[in-house]
Amino acid sequence: MNNWTTILIWAAVIGAVFGYLWWQGQVQRLATYVAETREELKKCAWPSWDELKGSTALIIIMVALLGGFVVAIDAILFKTSFNPFALAAVMVAGYVGWLILQSKRQ
């Protein structure tokens, strides 16, 4: 088959599917959905350019801080996992910290 035949077959298949969906009323439902979605999006409060830049900078900083925290905890656990005394010290420190937090809640 040459390229034109393939294109015509696909055009006929797509046309048949579109015609069937039109006959079932699905195209009208899709158009209604898109129109209602546009109306709802007009009601949204969109940020200004300055607010968007500030929020983006804040997210970048928070992701960097969280990444640094994960790297630090990973390094601590890696170093202590081969030394049972250091691992015990980290576990005791974590437990004491948890106890302090629990006592402040009450």
Residue 54, token pair as written in the block: 């500030």
Classify burial at 87, counting beta carbons within 10 Å of its beta carbon; exposed 0-12, middle 13-18, buried 19 or more: middle
What's the pLDDT at 67?
Answer: 97
What's the pLDDT at 28?
Answer: 86
What's the pLDDT at 91?
Answer: 86
Residue 51, token pair as written in the block: 């607010």
Q: Where do the structural domains in the chain lie, given as residue ranges?
A: 1-44, 49-106
From first to last of the 106 residues of the chain, give the pLDDT tens digit.
678 888 888 998 998 888 888 888 888 888 899 999 999 999 999 899 999 999 999 999 999 999 999 999 888 888 777 777 877 888 899 899 999 988 887 7
